Every structure is written in structure tokens, then in C-alpha cells.
Structure 1
Amino acid sequence: MVAPFCKTPIESTLVGVSNVPHDPSVDMITQSWLPTYRISVGLSAGASTKIDIQKRGVYPGGGGEVLFSSRPCSGVVPVDKIDVGKVCRVRGIAWSCRVSSSYGQSLVSGAKSVLNQFLSDVYFTIDHRKGQYAGKSPGFGLTLWAERKDGGVYSAEAMSEPEGSDNVLMDAETIGKLAANRLLDQIYRGGFIDSGTQSLAFVLMACESGRNASRLAVGNLSEYSVCTLRLIQKFLGVTFNFQYQSQDNPIKLSEENVEENENETDIDSNSKMLIATCFGAGVQNINKS
């Protein structure tokens, strides 16, 4: 959040944990958060914002290394995203560190067994790390994101239990199925963004530079989003208004370039979605104004 308001461009190397079970991974931030961020900061600053995973670091040992680069902008622009398009493709990254490379194939197999029931445009990248690029702890996991025709993204992920955990261990194929089902749940919730990106979007809307109105369609609010809204009201004085709006059509998962009504499956999303509205606080980058 500081990057858009800096005086000079940022190019930083972040070290530590890149993948942990109960927090968004670097992959999810890259595939789901960055598209939302780019919409709010404009084309110039958004295009230069990049995240590159040099080394993965699984909890608890860490050892990851991520390169973050960004350019400042004059201010955050208003958004008006209340229409939800159709999901047209699913992509994913199956990663593994300090374990057999076969875990990646098992993750993909498990996810495809669920997702291929709805569409066939499902592709994965297998990222197997070893040696100095694999961090200090073993682990494996899968990050999925569903791309919509309107540019929106839903994301979900699942990974193995950390080394030394007392929780019940799951095999790679089961983790792949878990990630796929979590993605379907995000699609069912509806909205322009997934529940994990809500807090980022709300902060950006509240920081809009021209004190203009922003509107965003979201699904059911997560507990983290509710806490974020309270902090926004406390620190920026911005209050959000939420209204239910019925969705005319269910979200449809469809295959590109196929005959009409062939290989198409409807997933009934929430019958209602929330429209979040607020006026920006007028936060500006004084170095660019």
C-alpha cells in the first residue's frame, strides 16, 4: 500500500517465508491481488508492478526470496466494477520444495479430477524447486485462479502441513482436490473479486485521490474484511455502504471456441451479491501532484 505514494520507484528483495498454510502465498498475491491493484493505480504504475519469486521458502524454515518492483503514481483512481462476467479458464501453479517432483503431478491430478467436471480449459505449471532455490523446509502445494472475461480473477490454494505439525497429514492428490473445491467456493460466492482480495480493494477504494465515488461487487464479507472496514473508518474516516443486488444470471463456466451448449456447465453463484460503495479520502502523492 505504500508503493503508490513513494517518491521514487521501488525495487526490493524480500526474504523469509513465501508459503504458509493460513496466509496468502506470494503466488496468490501475484495472480489475484496484483490485477486488483493495477485497476486502482492506473496503467502506467500498474504495468511496472511486478513480483518475481527467486527462491521459495516454506514455513517454518523460510529461506524464500522475492523481488518486488513498483513505480509510484499520482493517486488512486476510482473503480466501478459491479458487473460480473463469466469464468472462461482456470490456471494453476503446483509447487514443491525439497520433496519428490512426483508431488507436483499428484497435485495436478487431484485438481483436474474436480475442475474438469465443469470445463476443459484447465492448465497448470509445475514449479519444482531444489537446492538453494527450495528454501529450508520441505513442502508442496497448489495455487489456482479462475480468469473471467471481464478481467476479474478468483483464487484459492492449499498446501501441505508444515514440518513438525501435529495436524493430520494429507497426500498431494487430496490437497489438489481441496484447492479445487476452495476455488469453486469462491466462484459460488460471486462478486468481482474473491474474498481474499476484498480487504486490499477496500483500502484502495478508501484511498481514492479525488474524493470520488467507487463501486465494487463483492460476495459475502470475510471476517478479515470486516476488521479492515473498521480500521478504514477509524484511520481514514471513510464509511462504506453495502446494498444487495440480485444477479440476473448464474456464473457460467464455459470453454472458449466450442459449439454453443457444448461442454458448458452452470454453477449457481449466490442469488445476491453486495455492492460496496464509498467516497475516497483524497489521499494523494505530493511528489507527483
Structure 2
Amino acid sequence: MPSDYQTRWLTYHGSNFFRQRLLLSTLSGRPVKIVDIRSKDDEPGLQEHEANFIKLLEKMCNGSEIIINHTGTKLMYKPGTINGGILSHDCSSGSRSLGYYLEPILCLAPFCKTALQLTLQGITNGGHDPSVDTIKMVTLKLMEKFGLDEGLELTINKRGSMPKGGGEIFLRCPVIRQLNTVNMLETGKVKKIRGLSYTTRVSPAMANRIIDSCRNSLNPFISDLYIYVDHCKGNQSGLSPGFGVTLTATTTSGVMYSSQLTADVSDQKLPEDIGQYAAYKLLSEIKQGGCIDATHQTLALLMIALGPPDVGKIRTGPLTDYTVAFLRHLKDFFQVMFKIDALTDEESDLQSLVLSCLGINYVNISKKST
């Protein structure tokens, strides 16, 4: 029988950090109530992408109870068991890309009852969410460090740019009984930079112009630089024209930093600007230091918190506002608190943070031990 603590409702106000709250509620089993969702806006209540995310969450779980009032300004969510299995979902409604859905789904997938095989349709590249390329090149590599090293893959069947999308991806994630304890403290030196420049329904010359711009910005810093081209044609190019680039830097200790920038025709951005800004964003991530970039702070901290009853540590750059809120939510749902120490690099005088905590020994009871 669940304890009184587990059955006690947590109440939050407003629409901020919506995915965080539903994700942690699902993992912890604690019911959550979110009220005053844009109650004073001209268009109150849940937005399309938020309602769509709830539908996807409902497909993944069995026995969830979801109550939304008629204006959409109040949500009551009582989580069920995480089932997984073979699923398909259309994420086209709303303006968010597939990265918006994949970020929390990747946190849940290792703890499903059966291995997740998920097909998603929608916008693959666009907006402020991580692109599917960033998730494939960096996020999955990070998850491998925590024990998901077999059977984890993401395939991009079609690309879809904003606003109409039309892309499709396939995600396969194995289940795991328990995560590994990870200590990521050594940043190392950047040894190579890789990237991918894509185009959909525009001239392939756009991708080459992006690459030339990236090279002009990055060549003074490193010689081992290679950027691939993915020019999508016909059915694989989605429904809207667009182009962009994803860059990753890998250090001698296996740390990966990422940056991305996309554009659609309505942006009226030049490919040269896209390449230059993406390169500058990558250099900025490297300069921040740490063993993780800003995009992946919350994923790494969650995995450490859910790990075995041993101390896990990670070195990061400055924490984003999203990560600070996530740490507060971790305390609410799991009673987990991180110890934060400042660390100064002797060579560069840059300060980074070391976050450490004792794992709560989160175990996937549906996965049999071998």
C-alpha cells in the first residue's frame, strides 16, 4: 500500500515547467494538481502542444487519471504504471517540435514495463526545443553512460520544418532495472567538432553555405572539423521549406557540447548567419565549462538522483532557470537535494559547479533482474 506521503497531492500554480511536473509525478507516483493555467490570458487554459503531450503520456501509461476543467485552467493528474510498448503519436498540433515531447519521454522510457518502440510525427527541426539531431548525436550518448548502452536508437525517417512539419522519427529504448552511478568531473580538451547541416524543400546550396560559415568561425580554433550534409528530397522533406545546422564538440574525456540553429523561410535568415550563430553558440557552451551543456543539465541530474544508493557527481556550467526549477521539483517529488560546490579552473579562472547527491535507488520493478 502506498504511504500517505505518496498519495498526498502536490499543487502548483501557472503553466511554467508543465512537463517537469507531469514527468516527476509519473516517475514518483505522486498525484499533482496544476491550477491557474493562463487564467488571466486572452486565451486561457492549456495550449495545443500541452494537451498533445498529455495524450502521449496517457498512451505510455496504464491506469492514469486525468481531469481537466472545461476552461483548461485546472489539471488533476494521478499517474498510473509506465507501460511502454509499440506506440505511434501525431505531434503536429501546436507549434512545438518533437524535441518538446522526446525530452520527458526519454526520461520515462528506461522504466517502462516493456521496451518502448515509439513513432512520432511532427516538426523535427525548429523552435527552441532540441532538434532530433541533437537528441540523436548527444542525448542518447549521455544516456549510455547511465547504463542504456544496448538497443537505444533514434531513426529519422522524414524531416519536417516549421510551421507545417511533416517529419517522422522512430525511437527504440530498452528497459533497465537500475541506472549506473556516474561521476562526471573531468572536462578534458576539445579534440573534434562534428555537425550536420540539413535542408528541406530548398536548394542544397543552402547547406553548403551554412557549412562554409561554420568553418570560417571554427577553423581558427580546431582543425578536426567535419560537417555532414542531409539534403532531403520528395517525401522525406516534410511539408515546409527550411534549413539549419546542429554542431557537437567532443573532448578528450568524452564530454559532449552541442548547439543548434534552424530557420524557415518566414524567418528570412541567411544561411551564413545561421552557420555563424550556431558556431558562436557552440563556443559559448564550451567556454561555460562543465561536463554537460545547458540543454542536458536536467536529464543528467535526474539520472544521478534516481541512481543506486551511492554518491553521483557532475560538473556543470552556470545552471539555467529551467534547471533551478527542476532541482526544486526534485525536492518536492522525491525529497532529493543536491550539494552544490563552486570549482575554479586553474588555467582559465572560469568557475563551474559540482553537483552531488546520494541516489534514491530507483528500481524498475517490472524489469526482472538477471
TM-score tier, shorter chain, comes to 0.7 to 0.9
2:368 is aligned with 1:273 = no
Residue identity opposite 2:363 in structure 1? Q
2:118 is aligned with 1:12 = yes
1:3-46 CA deviation, whole Å, 9 max, x = no partner?
11122222221111111121110111111211211111x1xx32
Residue identity opposite 2:114 in structure 1? T
Q: State which of 220, 227, 232 in structure 2 corresponds to 1:117.
A: 220
CA–CA separation in structure 2 for the residues paired with 1:206 and 1:25: 26
Query: Counterpart of 2:114 in 1: which secondary structure?
Result: coil
Number of residue-to-residue matches in the alignment: 262
1:242-278 CA deviation, whole Å, 9 max, x = no partner?
101122334xxxxxxxxxxxxxxxxxxx611100111
Query: Counterpart of 1:47 in 2: which secondary structure?
Result: coil
Q: State which of 92, 95, 107 in structure 1 corresponds to 2:195.
A: 92
Q: State which of 261, 271, 282 in structure 2 corresponds to 1:183.
A: 282
Q: State which of 225, 246, 254 in structure 2 corresponds to 1:151.
A: 254
Q: Which stretches of structure 1, 4 residues or more, deviate above 4 A after TM superposition?
A: none
Query: Counterpart of 2:177 in 1: which secondary structure?
Result: coil
Aligned to 2:297: 198
- TM-score normalised to structure 1 length: 0.87
Give the deviation of 1:55 after TM superposition. 0.4
1:181-203 CA deviation, whole Å, 9 max, x = no partner?
00000000000111111011011
| Compared CA separation, residues 124 and 33, structure 1 to 2 (3 A) | same
Give the deviation of 1:213 after TM superposition. 1.1
| Higher deviation after alignment, 233-242 or 177-186 | 233-242
Give the alignment of 1:1-289 within 5 angstroms. 1-40=107-146, 42=147, 45-160=148-263, 162-164=264-266, 169-208=268-307, 210-250=308-348, 271-286=350-365, 287-289=367-369
Identity value in percent: 35
Q: Structure 1: 5+ residue runs without aligned partners?
A: 251-269
Q: CA RMSD in A?
A: 1.3
Q: Structure 2: 5+ residue runs without aligned partners?
A: 1-106
Residue identity opposite 1:126 in structure 2? V
Query: Counterpart of 2:149 in 1: which secondary structure?
Result: helix
Instruction: Tell which has more relative contact order, 1 or 2 (C-alpha 8 A, sep 6+).
Output: 1
CA–CA separation in structure 2 for the residues paired with 1:59 and 1:206: 35
1:163-189 CA deviation, whole Å, 9 max, x = no partner?
545xxx320011100000000000000
Residue identity opposite 2:278 in structure 1? A
- TM-score normalised to structure 2 length: 0.69
Query: Counterpart of 1:214 in 2: which secondary structure?
Result: strand
CA–CA separation in structure 2 for the residues paired with 1:174 and 1:6: 42
Query: Counterpart of 2:248 in 1: which secondary structure?
Result: strand
CA–CA separation in structure 1 for the residues paired with 2:150 and 2:175: 11
